[in-house]
Amino acid sequence: MDAFDPEAAARAVADSLRALGSPERAAGEKGYLKSDLEFFGVTVPDIRRTVQAAARSHQGLDREAVLAWAAALWREPVHERRMAAVELLTLAVRRLTADDLPAVAKLLRESVLAAHRRVGG
């Protein structure tokens, strides 16, 4: 089995999301949310389905790998990538520990949209 590459996994998720996007929806969301982030124009259900499928293809990841994957998704200033990071952390919330709080808090502090602040909720 190949070693997990969080950057490659993040790129794969981003590529899948980009393909699902709509320029019209992207422009509407960007205006509505008054954000400087880039938008692909993907619906929340499509983001969730994409992340769930990606997570299934990488079952058995330890919490460090999940955190690295979420950080890789978050790194680019793209709304859907950041939403995907939140969804990934939500899926893995039971694996996370109190020791992971600083890493998750760092992402949340960097968030400019309330939509990205629902981890565990």
The predicted-structure confidence for 36-89, as pLDDT tens digits, reads as follows 889 999 999 999 999 999 999 998 899 999 999 999 999 999 999 999 999 999
The pLDDT-based confidence of 105 (bands split at 50, 70, 90) is: confident
Cβ burial of 34 (10 Å; 0-12, 13-18, 19+) is exposed
Among candidate residues 9, 110, 1, 17, the one with its CA nearest the CA of residue 65: 9
Amino acid identity, position 15? D
The residue among 44 and 105 whose pLDDT is bigger is: 44
Asked which of 24-28, 90-94, 104-108 is least confident by mean pLDDT, the reply is: 104-108
Amino acid identity, position 36? D
Tens of pLDDT, residues 27-37: 999 888 888 88
**Look-up of token digits 């190949």:** 2
**Rounded to the nearest 5 degrees, what angle is found at the Cα of 53, between the Cα atoms of 50 and 54?**
85
Q: CA–CA separation, 30 vs 88, rounded Å?
A: 23
Task: List the domains of the chain with CATH numbers.
Answer: 6-116 (1.25.10.90)
pTM: 0.85
